[in-house]
Structures are given as structure tokens and as C-alpha cells.
Structure 1
Amino acid sequence: MMQKNHKRILRNTGMLYLRMLLAMVVGLYTSRVVLDVLGVEDFGTYHVVAGFVTLLGFMLGAMTTATQRYFAFDLGQNDGSNLCSLFNTSLHIHVLMAACIALVAETVGYWFVSTQLSIPHDRLDAALMAYHLSVAAFTVSVMTVPLTAMLMANERMGLFALMSMADVMLKLVAVLLLPYLAYDKLSMYVALLLAVALITFSGYLIINRTIFPAVRLQWNWNGEHFRSMLGFTAWNTWGNLAAALSQHGNNVLLNIFFGPTVNAGRSIAAQANGALYQFVANVQAAINPQIVKQYAAGQHQQMQELVQKASKYNFFLLLTLAMPVLLYTEQLLDIWLVEPPEYAAVFLQLTIIASLIESLSRPLMTSAQATGKIRLYQSVVGGLLLFNVPLSYLALTIWKQPTLVLWISTMLEVAALAARLVILRRLTNMAVASYLKLVISRVIIVASIAGLINHFMAFQDTNGIVLTLGLTISVISTVAVLYLVGLDAREKRYLSNLAAQSFRKVFNFAGS
């Protein structure tokens, strides 16, 4: 059974990687085009306005997690016998949530954007139009959550990957059309993104209604499911609010203290880091249903082993990709953007460091969600992350250095990781000592050795072939350290057997 689950995880990860590679390439290209077409000022304005809409929708993350958890838990415990009722309950909650978000966004949010953000006066009308359209697009994305959650809980990653790739290609078409549109470019860009959101929602609805009997729109109100999911969401919302404030609240602070130019640098760093983190997110997305299903089936020991391996592999994977970027940040940004915004390089480096720490926490978050008992977990962890904005405000008031917000985020990620381990020992009887020995100590040793080796092997003058050589050496040396130091004997044996099987399949296919 474990071998079968591992193969399923690998297959699903592979499908998500195909989707991610396309999204990464298109995303990096479109960021360059949009920055060029909109200009640095409008680019920064869009991201602070759209980021504020996302901040208002902090409940979306809470409901996404809750929906996937309840679907996967029912599949693990009851073979999906309650899926129809759970799906309709989830849909009702999302309709209610979308209406509430739109109401708050168009009242309090509108006042804040129009009066408190630092937006050039001659671009205020365009920024407000972009804000209204962003609210509409976000509302559509809220309604899409139950549909994507059904695919993920059933581990139909292939269909999810195909729909995601279609979404990416539609956004690429929107960006390519942008230079040829006569109307205000900022407003038209967000209008095109709204059209893409509507098309994507329709596609998900058609696919789900075709392949899942549970996806039938009914008004069969189930009070027990509604109260359970809403209660779970209420506590989950606290954690997601803290995370949203951590990410987008600091973006607002940077706008207030330094203006949209610094926002542009922060946005570029977030996009580049997001492209790297997608590699980890895809592995985690493939593992999440298995963690929840194993807990639901009472296989707690197997779940803890999977959580430990996922934490370590998340970190190793991100470290392999991040190391060359950390070494050659400015050179890579110059190639990507030609003229990167101010602070983009240092923002990217600090964001990657925080993401490395967060990558360890992702499987821990899923195991906490699997229990359904998240009151203590979200109270403590959410409370820690919520300190990000006031601490950042205080630091910016005293020292006026924009990089301080990311140093504070990194320190709070470390504190949150420690809190998660302590709480999970109570929720799931997690062997914290084993986690520290097999995961934390191992990743610290690997990161230290790989970092020193790469530091001494880095080229000082890099251009063209020299930069390519430097990036290649960095990846190879990091992988070598991971294999020799980061993996135990059983993991090395499994990886060697998997590689041998893959080579045999390729050789047999080529020879046939």
C-alpha cells in the first residue's frame, strides 16, 4: 500500500510539474512584458491594489484548506459517501463568502485604496478601475475553490494540471494583446484577467459535473456539515489573516513609507520567489491528500513518517533551485528584466531565505489541518505571524530601511516553526525529537555545507557562458551534497532503484 501511495504521489507530482514549468516560463515572460508596457509606476500600483484585494480575501485560503481537508477526510474514512452533501455545503459557504468579500472590498476597501495608498493623482482613476475589476476577478476565484478542491482531494492532478495550463495560456494571450489595446493599459490588463477568471471557472464546472457524481448543484441544506466546516474555517481564518497581513500588509507599509517604486521591487522578488516555490508547492499538493487520508484511516505512524520526509524533501528541492539564484541574483534579474526595480535583488534573496524555512512547515500545517482540532494551533501560530505588521511598522518608523520587513518575516517564520512542532506533539503525538534529528539537523548541515562550497566556487565576473557554467556548477554541487549528506541509506537505495527503473524504461522505449 505504501509503495502504491508513493507511486501515486510521484505520478501526481510529475503532472503538476508539467503545469508548473509552463506557468513559470509564461509567468516570468509576462512579468517582463507587463512591466515594460505598464511602466514601473503603474506596475507597482497594480500590485499594491491587487494585493490589497487579496488581503481582503484572507478567508479564501481558509476555505480552500477546509474544503480540501473535508473532501479528502471523507474519502479516507467513508470512501466519499458524504461528498455530495459536503460539496453543496461548501458551495453555499463560498457564495456567502464571495458576497461578504465584495461588500467589504467595495466599501471599506474602496475608501482605503482611494484615500490612504500612495498613488499618483493622475493615475488614481485608472487605479480605482483596476481595483473594482480585481474585486470582481477575486470573487470569481472564490467560487472556483470547491471545484478545484474536488479534483485535488480525488488526486486527479492531471485534469487540474490541464486546466491550470489553459489558464496560464489564456493569461499569456491577454498580455500579448495588451500593447495593441487603445484604452488605458492598466485598466485593460485587469479586465482581461477578469475574463480569464470567468473562462477558467466555466471550464472547472464542466469538468467536475462530467466526472464526479457528487458535483450536483442542490439545495440540500446540511446543518451539521455547515456548522462543522464553518467552525473549522473560523479558526483557520485567523491563521490565514495573519499570513495575508504578513505578505500584503507589509506591501502596503512599503507603499506608505517609500511609494510604488519600492513596491515594484518587492513584487518582482515575490514573483521570482513564487516561481521557485512552485516546485515545492507541487510536491506538497500531491502529498496533502495522502496526509489527510492516512490520518482519517488511523494510520498515524505512516502519516508522521510522510510528514518528516515531505519537510526534508521540500527544503532540499527548494535549496537546489534557490542556491544558484542566491549566488547570482543581480545577474539573473538583469537578464530577466534588463532594468530591475530598486531593491529587487536584496528583496529576492531575503524572500528566498524565508521561503526555505516555510517549506519545512508546509507538511506540519497539513497534519494539523487533518486532525480538525485547530483552535490552539491557529491561535498560537496566527498570533505569532500577526506580529509581522506592527513590528515592521515600528522598525520602518525608526530605521527607514525597507529590507527590515523581510528580516522580521524570516525571524517570525522560525518562531512559527518551533510553535508548530510543540503544538503537533499534543495534537498528533508527533515525535518532536525525531523530527529535530531527522529533519532540522539534517537540513542545517546540508545548507551549511552546500552554502560554503557554493560561496567559494562562485564566479566573480559572470556573463554569457560563464554565468551558465556557474549556475550549472551550483546545482550539481548542491545535489551532490544533498545525496551524500542529506539522504539516509534507505533513501539512497530507493532513489538509485527508481533511477535505474527509469533508465531501463527509456532504453527499452528507444530500442523498440
Structure 2
Amino acid sequence: MSNQTTDNNKRIAKNTLVLYIRMLITLAVGLYTSRVVLNTLGVEDYGVYNIVGGVVAMFGFLNSTMSGATQRFLTTALGEGSKKQMSLVFCSSIQIHAIISILIFVLSETIGMWFLIYKLNIPLDRYDAAIWVLQCSILASIVMVMSVPYNAAIIAHEKMDAFAYISILEVVLKLLIVFLLMFVDFDKLKLYAILMFSTQIVVRLVYSAYCKRHFPETRYKHVIFKPILKKMSSFAGWDLYGNLCVVGKTQGLNFLLNIFFGTVLNAAAGIAGQVTGIIMQFANNVIMAVRPQIMISYAQKQYARMNYLINRSSIFIYLLILMLSSPLFVDCYFVLKLWLKIVPDYAVSLCRISLLSGLLSIINSTVSAGIHATGNIKKISFISGTCYLLVIPFVYIAFKLGVAPYWGYGISTIVMYIILILNGVILHSMLREFYLAKYLKMILQLTFITMLYLAILFFSSECIEMSFLRLVVLCMESVFIAIIFLLLILSKEEKIKMKKMISNKLSKFKQ
């Protein structure tokens, strides 16, 4: 193994550790704040905030599109060692994001407002508060859009410690918001929306200040460089369709739950989204550390390393998240009751299916990074995007037939599984060096592991009454099972490296 590869692996490990610490802090704060916000706002207002915020998020696909484009071009320029190219990419991305901000504002104030007034199922006495939420969400989205180029620069440079510190600052501010909600005598839904918007402004200023101080290429210059704008716009144009379909699927599913079942189901969906989001932060932290290396490996034509990062990182991250989420999956009602006190109807079933979908998204994130690295995203955007969008008519028909709400999430998860296979085929068609057979084998392997893993834990849970003790036992058992599967999955070379690493750590500890 070359020194450069060793250094890159160490960088991934270091960034993962930093992001892991960041995640632990955000997890603790997130669990507490979600509980207090739900209890303070009430189930109905909490549902209103989630559904109205979703109206703006519906147009956030514009932001997601350029976020991927900016990260891809910045990381590729960094891999090629071109500072000038990075500066041109950054300045171009600022210009494009300014246009996106205007589009989001116009679309939200027209289509978003129309949708809120005429289509959403909002209690009449909460319409005024819902409009406040909409306006604050629009402004917060614009601030977030303009933060993307700075965020992308930090990730491209793999300065995850800074990214972690700023994220910790954000959750601390959100914690302060919770305390204010508890003690201020004002419409709490309106106040919550205003304070969340204020938090985004502070975070945006911190991102900008850090980048300007550490990365010279992030100092904006009004230079219009058409070749870069054309390439980024072309990439973003194809990515636009894919992201539009993903957001359409996510928010469309949320709207269908509202139309067919009311705001209480939106509260359940909000809880499911938060639980899955908190757990998936573990995965996203590692993926965030691995993703730049996948793109750099492609830029440097190190295809063997790119294959290794896509396949092995998927397995290791998946197993880690399976270990963390399985006890929650099995003992979901007890955990939600312990955490929230109030458990909305269908929250348990939605949480369980959402966790399964989140696990599949781990594999999708790594293979998608490989496709984005090539710069050719026409196939993935059209094929995968269309599959995502087809979820909505399928779910609509299912709800019309009278199925339970959790089937909406179930259909979405089945489609996600199909997309994983399609994305592997797409990457192989563009890069013959990508090992499709190993990728498909990995998907089947993880499917079998998941079924066996959950079956063992469900069987064990039947032997103990629902209690905190049972949850602790399930957590310990989950760790033990994960270690066994890890030892079975590791190759001989990986086992040797692990033994050597543990031996070195122990020798240092003894000294």
C-alpha cells in the first residue's frame, strides 16, 4: 500500500472520528429538543410545522441539485491540483445559487402559498401561524442556499473538524430555542419558526467567515467564466430532474398522508423522519468522509481504490447502522414512549419502515458518488428519478383502495431496493472497471444479514417483558451479533490490517 493511500485512509478515519463526535452531540441534543418541541407545540402544531415547511422543501430540489454539482466540481478540481479552477468553480456556484434563491422565493410565494391555502388540510384557527411558518421557512431556505458553496468547499478540502464544530454550534442554538419556547408567552409555533430562521442566519455567517479565512479560492470575485458555468449548469440540469423526483416523492408522500389521514399522520411521519435522520447521521458522517476520496480516486484514475471504497465502505457503514438501529427497530414503541411520552398513531410502523429505507440509502449514497464522479449523470437522473416519482401514483392508488398509512413508506422502500440494482448497472455501463458482480453480491449479502439480524433480535425480545432492561439487553446483543458478522465479512488482508492496528494501539497504550 502506497504512502499516499495510507495517508488518505488515515484522513478518512480522522474525519470519521471527528464527525462521529459531532454526531453524538447532535444526537443527544436532537433527541431532547424533538421531545420538548413536540410536547410544547402539541401534536397538531408539530404536524402543521412539518407539512408547511415541506411546501418550501418542495422547491429545495434546486438547492440540492447545485449542492451536488458544486461539491463534484470543487472536489475534482482539488484532485487535479488546480487552485485557479477551484476559484472559478466557487465564483460560478455563488452566481448560480443567487439565481436559485430568487427562483425559490418566487415559487414559494406563488405556488407554495396557493398550495398552503387551497390544498393542505390545516385547522382554520392555525392558518395565521401556518403563514408565518411558510414565510420564515422561505427565508431560511434562501439563507441555506447561499451557504452551499461554502459548505461544499469545506467538504472538498476534507476539513471535517470545522464542519463538525459549525454543526455543533447549530444544534446548541436550537437547544437555546427550545428553552425560549418553554418560557416565552407568545404563539409558540410562530416563535419557533422565527427562531429557526435566525439560527440559519448565524450559521451562514460562520460558514462564510471560516472559508474566507482558510480557503483563498472562496473569496468571491465577480468573474463570469462561461465554460465552467456551462459545465456546471449541464451537470445541474440533469441532476435537477433526479432531485426534483426525489423531493416530489418525499413531499408528495407527506402530502398524501395529510390529504388522506390529516395532520396527526404528518406528526407521525415527522417523528419517523427525525428518528431515521438522527440514526442516519452516523452513516452520513462516514459517507461524507469517504465521498471526496471516491471522486478524487476517479479523477486520478485509481479505479481499483474507487471500487474498494464503494463496496467495502457500503458494507461497513451498513453493518454499523444496522447494529445501532436494530434495537430501536425491535423495541420501537418503548423507545418512542420513553423519549416522547406522546406516541402518535402509526409512528412505530412508519419509524420501522423508514429505518429500512434509510439502510438502503447507505448503499445508494456510495454508488451515486461513483456515478457523480464521472460527471455523466444523464442515466441515473432519468432512470432513478422516474422510479422515485412513480412512488406517488402507486401510493395514491393504494390509499384509494383503503390500505394502512404505513404502506406508503413500504412502497417507497421497495422502489429504493430496485433503484440500488439499477444504479449499479448504470455505473458499470459508464465505467467498465466497476465490478458489477461484486456490487450485486454485496446487496444480496446485506439483505440476508438484515433478515437474519432482525429475526434473532425479535426472537430474543419475546423472552423478556418490555422494559428498559430489555432494551439494554437488545443493544448488547446487537453489538455482539455485529462483531460476528464483521469477522465473517472481513477479508484476510483486512483482518491482518485490523490485528496490526490493534497491536500498535495496545503497544502505545502500554508505553
Q: Same fold (TM over 0.5)?
A: yes
1:431 alignment counterpart? 435
Structure 2 residue corresponding to 1:302, chosen from 302, 305, 309:
305
Is residue 125 from structure 1 mapped to residue 128 from structure 2 by the alignment?
yes
Task: Pick one of 473, 480, 491 that aligns with 2:477.
Answer: 473
**Per-residue deviation, residues 144-185 of structure 1 (Å, max 9, x unmatched):** 000010000000101111111111101111111112222211
Matched ranges for 1:329-478 at <5 A: 329-429=332-432, 430-437=434-441, 439-458=442-461, 459-477=463-481
Distance 1:3 1:422 in 2: 30
Q: CA deviation at 1:117?
A: 0.3
Q: Which runs of 5+ in 2 are unaligned?
A: none
1:395 shift after superposition: 0.8
Letter in 2 for 1:350: I
Q: Hey, what does 1:271 align to over in structure 2?
A: 274
- Which of 52, 66, 70 pairs up with 2:69? 66
Residue 399 of structure 1 aligns to a residue in which SS?
A: coil
1:87 aligned partner: 90
Cα deviation for residue 507 of structure 1 reads 4.4
2:24 and 2:142 mapped to 1: Cα distance? Answer: 27
TM-score w.r.t. structure 2 length? Answer: 0.96
Q: How many positions carry a matched residue from both structures?
A: 506
1:341 to 1:107, Cα distance in 2 relative to 1, 3 A: same
Q: Which residue of 1 aligns with 2:290?
A: 287
DSSP-derived class of the 2:217 partner: coil
CA distance in 2, matches of 1:199, 1:265: 30
Are residues 348 and 507 of structure 1, via their aligned partners in 2, closer, same or farther at CA, if it must alter by over 3 Å? Answer: farther
Alpha-carbon shift at residue 231 of structure 1 (Å): 1.0
Give the match for residue 212 of structure 2.
209
1:78-101 per-residue CA deviation (whole Å, 9 max, x = no partner) reads 343311111110000000001100
1:54 aligns with 2:57: yes
Task: Supply the RMSD in Å over aligned alpha carbons.
Answer: 1.4
User: Residue in 2 aligned with 1:30?
Assistant: 33
* Alignment-derived partner of residue 142 in structure 1: 145
Q: Secondary structure at the match of 1:304?
A: helix
Deviations, residues 21-63 of structure 1 (Å, cap 9, x unaligned) = 1111111110101001100000011001112211111111111
Q: Is the 8 A contact 2:55 2:108 kept in 1?
A: no
Task: Choose 56-65 or 250-259, whichever is displaced more.
Answer: 56-65
Query: C-alpha separation between the residues in 1 aligned to 2:143 and 2:509?
Result: 43
**Other structure's SS at 2:169 match:** helix
**CA positional deviation for 1:394:** 1.1
Shift of 1:66: 0.7
Whether the 8 Å CA contact 2:424–2:440 is kept in 1: the answer is no
CA distance in structure 2 between the aligned counterparts of 1:372 and 1:258, rounded to whole angstroms: 42
Q: What is the letter of the counterpart of residue 287 of structure 1?
A: V
Q: CA deviation at 1:275?
A: 0.7
Cα distance in 2 for partners of 1:56, 1:498 equals 47
Whichever residue aligns with residue 394 of structure 1, its letter is I
Q: Secondary structure at the match of 1:401?
A: coil
For 1:502 and 1:247, locate their aligned partners in 2 and report how far apart those are by CA, in whole Å.
45
| Matches of 1:128 and 1:405, distance apart in 2 | 28
* 1:71 and 1:80 in contact (8 A); partners too: no
**Structure 2 counterpart of 1:5, from 5, 8, 15:** 8
Q: 1: distance between equivalents of 2:300 and 2:101? A: 33
Structure 1 stretches (4+) deviating beyond 6 angstroms?
A: none
* Alpha-carbon contact 1:446-1:485 (below 8 Å) kept: no
What residue in structure 1 maps to residue 107 of structure 2?
A: 104
Q: Contact between 1:89 and 1:225, CA under 8 Å: does it hold in 2?
A: yes
Change (3 A) 1:245 1:499: farther
List alignment gaps of at least 5 residues for structure 1: none
Distance 2:282 2:409 in 1: 22
TM-score, normalising length: structure 1: 0.96
1:484 paired to 2:493: no
Distance across 2 between alignment mates of 1:198 and 1:178: 19
Q: Percent identity?
A: 33
Check conservation: 2:327, 2:471, Cα contact below 8 A.
Answer: no
Deviates more, 1:467-476 or 1:66-75: 467-476
The 1:445–1:97 alpha-carbon spacing in structure 2 relative to 1, beyond 3 Å, is: same
Per the TM alignment, residue 356 of structure 1 is displaced from its structure 2 partner at its CA by 1.6
